[in-house]
Amino acid sequence: MNNKGFTLVELLATISLLAVLMMIAVPNIIGVVNRNKNKTYVEDAKKLVALAEYKVRSDPANKPTNKDIFCFSMKTLGEAEFDTTAPNGGKYDADKSYVKVTKGEDNALQYSVVLAEDKDGKFIGILNETLADNLYKDNDIVSLITSGNVSECSGVKK
């Protein structure tokens, strides 16, 4: 009798091998997805800072003097520049996302950014004021992304 097919041992070995491969692959895939979400926050924050820099350079009235602090919300910088969906499936809060512009001790302008995604009443993103220079450091992007309360801008809203 010629029975063609797999034995129980062969099937169990194949399923075990697939299970081991899945245990290795799934966490790596999830890690890649999370890193890409974090990079999207950082890239959107860079875009928000670039819009604020343009606004400051194009109009001298937007340039802070010695003690001034100006806050440019995403709404005033152009929320249409950002996708309708933020990285975690929520929506950027255009009033709570802002760039703060101050004049440093060396008379150079300093830009700090907050980028808040509202998802089901919870905020995710760059929620603590982060200097724009830190957005360009690749060492620890994950430390910039948090969830919780959004810090408010303490300057003149523009």
Query: Could you read off the pLDDT of 67-120 as tens digits, one per residue?
Result: 889 999 999 898 888 776 788 888 999 889 999 999 877 888 999 999 999 988
Torsion of CA 34, 80, 119, 156, to 10 degrees: 110
CB count in 10 Å sphere of residue 80 = 7
Position 73 scores a pLDDT of: 92
34 vs 1, residue with greater confidence: 34
Please answer whether residues 52 and 99 qualify as being in contact, where contact means their C-beta atoms are separated by less than 8 angstroms: yes
Q: How far apart are CA 96 and CA 103, in angstroms?
A: 22
Position 11 scores a pLDDT of: 93
Position 2 scores a pLDDT of: 64
Q: Name the percent of the chain lying above pLDDT 70.
A: 97
Among 29-43, 49-63, 125-139, which stretch is predicted with the lowest mean pLDDT?
125-139
Q: How far apart are CA 110 and CA 158, in angstroms?
A: 16
Q: Which two tokens stand for residue 85?
A: 């969906």
Q: Name the percent of the chain lying above pLDDT 90.
A: 34
